[in-house]
A and B are shown apart, each in its own frame.
Chain A
Amino acid sequence: MEFFKIKKDIPFMKHALVFNAISFLTFALAVFFLFTKGLHLSVEFTGGTLMEVSYSQPADLNKVRSTVAGLGFAETQVQNFGTARDVMIRLPAQKGVSSAQQSEKVMAALKADAPDVTLRRTEFVGPQVGDELMEDGLKALAFVVAGIMLYLAIRFEWKFAVSAIIANLHDVIIILGFFAFFQWEFSLAVLAAVLAVLGYSVNESVVIFDRIRENFRRFRKMNTVEIIDNAITSTISRTIITHGSTQIMVLSMLLFGGETLHYFAMALTIGICFGIYSSVFVAAAIAMWLGVTREDLIKPVKKDGDPSDENHGAVV
């Protein structure tokens, strides 16, 4: 079986401007929603109490809502979680009140209404922890960005490092944009997914860059645009198949992982889709505009061998 029967190199770079315009538009939209709507942060970041309770019959959300409101909590959220019988309640962090007692108070009130209610899970996070998590999350992001750029700069060239990181950070912003637009809950697991995606979709750019470098050595008569087109064309089959395989796994999580893994898998799905787009259409184009040349990439090889030797191989 073969999905990709491509006869000629696809002139990706000819349309680079269009692709990048689309990309920029999505990016701008994502930023817009991030600013206007903001992320719906989970209890882990905001601090507060989260309770998951289960009824033996489908739960009456309005009743639960009024019961919880009757206890004098300001901004509470009551919603179904997974099934109609499971209810999730979020309580904001209260100053002074030991929030450890919050869940007990709510539980007692719910029990009074309906004795069949059982507590499945509670989570309480103090406000100081939330702030730290935010800080640690940003630190981790900075570490990943710096680490990847440094590695790519050493392994390839700074122009590649810059374009790869731009392409992939734009993926990250788009994932966040989706979470802001749909007001999906942004939890620690989603943060982990976002960072994993960042590491993963850089792969794509790396694969294409590897091929560009190799092509510069092999096809000495082609110009930069042709070289890049060829590199993308000859790796596209691999790009789509690997991402497809990873997506199979993620899809399986989306289907079988339940509510807890839902947004984690969602973040990965968006990341994978835009990962393909950005590494194929965006990263290489930026490298091209930054003026990547044959000399940039072949220089280091001169030390240990003849760069014109076709059988020299791609291994550095």
Chain B
Amino acid sequence: MNRYPVWKYAIIVIALLLGALYTLPNFFGEAPAVQVSSGKATVKVDIATLGKVEDALKAAQLAPQVLALEGNSVRARFDNTDNQLKAKDAIQKALIPDPADPPYVVALNLVSRTPAWLASLHAAPMYLGLDLRGGVHFMLQVDMQAALTQRVESLAGDIRSLLREKEVRHGGIARNGQSLELRLRDAQQLAGAKNVLASQFPDLLVNEAAEGSEYRLTLTMKPEAARKVQEQALKQNITTLHNRINELGVAEPVIQQQGLERIVVQLPGVQDTAKAKDILGRTATLEVRMVDESTEARSAELGQGAVPFGTERYLDRDGRPLIVKKQVVLTGDNLTDAQPGFDSQTQEPVVNLTLDAKGARIFKDVTRENVGKRMAIILFEKGKGEVVTAPVIRTEIGGGRVQISGRMTTVEANDTALLLRAGSLAAPMEIIEERTIGPSLGAENIAKGFNSVTWGFLAIVAFMCVYYAMFGVFSSLALAVNLLLLVALLSMLQATLTLPGMAAMALALGMAIDSNVLINERVREELRNGASPQSAIHAGFDRAWATILDSNITTLIAGVALLAFGSGPVRGFAVVHCLGILTSMFSAVFFSRGLVNLWYGSKKKLKSVSIGTVWRPEGGSAVKAD
């Protein structure tokens, strides 16, 4: 009765093997490494970059242990920090000719020593949270009301100019909170305006009201359109943050959306919070200026003369100089969007810019007066300007929709659009949560968590083995398997391990032993009531199962609640807690039964079971079934 079919043992063996395999990477530790990633949206890290890094290291006579292209970065692993630092210098020298304008981010990092064959199975060590590795954590709240207001403002401008274009007269348009009010004097104006709105502004909800002889249209954004605006604002802010953080040279920054209006930024290893905050909050500015095309300017461009009065010299992205006037036509504040696209007639890649009402008006005037001349769009970062693009004005451009075209590839169009957008945040942001953990504290936290788990585990094992003898050994083995599977699962899922997570691990072990105690006590009780050893084992496991299931489900309910409503540290706790309950069901019931079956199952004439003292009250059992 206490036998497992072969397939059940097979499941146990497979689970153990998988568990061991995926736990293994955690034992290799970490090695110092240099990581090269892209510092600009326009720079891609690829095989060519790998080659450059290789050459640079060869030239410096440094031999990395591993040099590989992983995802979007090149990593070179070294045996000690000395070589790591030397390699960083060498790579920096070779890859970054101008330190003021780095195309790549060269950062120091720690990477796992996991051998390649394990890595190819996607076995990686657990991902350590910031409280265990040190670093900075920010939570930023995006001001969505501001994003919506901005959008409504620009819609007002669009409507105004479109109504003018279609020669629909109106009594004025005004913004009222998140909605617009359009006044119309008679029914004819009303019909005209409604017509324009219906055909050109599908995102707006139109509400009509008559006021005496006048009409008033209230325009609000449709909820799905408003949602889209918010999504885009969040996305753009994340992109902008990415660009800015690249400058910090952080090896593995985490920039994630959280909820509908929050962004979490985690910078492992960064200690200088002041600088990090400075960079996150900085605003890059975009300026549109006219190019000076006089003869003096031409010669200055070629380096054959002084820069004329009232102009400045900037380089474009290919390093060609350009002389532009100091007078600013437009700033990035007037740019609401920049998207790559294709020209409807020539099918050429283009970048479409959308300007707000004020920008559109200025742009219209400037383009009318400067047909045939060039205008430059300059991106200022860290006080240094770079010409993103300098197109020729072909015609007067009204309506705030600008198309930049001409000898661009699709990739270039994409990059230009990104750069133009990267200049600004779509909506203002505020830091609402900040955590800094020093590196020594991180290491201490690991030690504390590790010690708690180890000592607690050993104490339980010692007690179980003394109290339940052989069955205690089985229970202890089951507990060890539980720990193994839990670590393997966490490694496999690449869940973030935090200090509360380690506490959950300890607690999971403490609670998991509950199942084994239930079983062991039940077996003892069956023996006490006079059952034969084999049937006592059988009944013990069977009867304990229902109870184990019930109690694990109630614990799981609490775990799921924490997972659903918890954030930050509580979430880290909840993940491990829930996984621990699931693995304990397997190890404490299925696995330990397997062990017991293997040990006792084949013994037909089993006289006694080693489960510690089975005490019987004198004069028979205390409890009798009737």
Contacts and interface: CB of A to CB of B under 8 A. Distances in A.
Does B bind A? yes
Interface of A: 1-2, 5-9, 44, 52, 98-100, 103-104, 118-126, 128-129, 133, 136-137, 139-141, 143-144, 147-148, 151-152, 155, 188-189, 191-192, 195-196, 198-200, 202-203, 206-207, 210, 214, 218-221, 230, 234-235, 237-238, 241-242, 244-253, 255-258, 260-261, 264-265, 268, 310, 313-316
Given A147-B561, A192-B500, A192-B566, A268 B507 contact: yes
B352 interface: no
B573 A245 contact: no
Interface in B512-566: 513-514, 517-518, 521, 525, 542-543, 545-547, 550-551, 553-562, 564-566
A140 B435 contact: no
A1 B565 contact: no
Contacts of A250: 456, 506-507, 510
Contacts of A191: 570
30 contacts: A99-B434, A100-B431, A100-B434, A103-B273, A103-B436, A120-B440, A122-B434, A124-B431, A124-B433, A125-B432, A128-B432, A136-B567, A140-B564, A151-B553, A188-B569, A189-B500, A198-B558, A203-B555, A210-B546, A238-B521, A245-B464, A246-B510, A249-B460, A249-B507, A252-B506, A253-B506, A257-B449, A261-B448, A313-B543, A315-B545
Contact of B452 (A119, A200, A219, A261): A261
Contacts of B560: 143, 147
Contact of A246 (B277, B511, B625): B511
B558 A260 contact: no
Contact of B547 (A100, A121, A195, A206): A206
A199 B560 CA distance: 10
Given A151-B557, A268-B507, 13 more contacts: A2-B612, A99-B434, A103-B273, A140-B566, A143-B564, A147-B560, A188-B569, A196-B577, A202-B554, A237-B521, A248-B459, A257-B452, A260-B499
A250 B505 CA distance: 11
A261 B503 contact: yes
B470 interface: no
Contacts of B617: 5-7
B10 to A, nearest CB: 26
A219 B555 contact: no
Contact of A221 (B431, B436, B464, B626): B626
B536 to A, nearest CB: 14
Contacts of A260: 445, 448, 499
A112 to B, nearest CB: 16
Given A195-B558, A314-B546, A238 B518 contact: yes
B574 interface: yes
A99 to B, nearest CB: 8
Contacts of B466: 1
A54 B189 CA distance: 73
Interface in B426-445: 430-438, 440-441, 444-445
A103 B557 CA distance: 39
Given A128-B432, A140-B566, A252-B456, A192 B511 contact: no
Given A143-B564, A252-B506, A261-B503, A124 B435 contact: yes
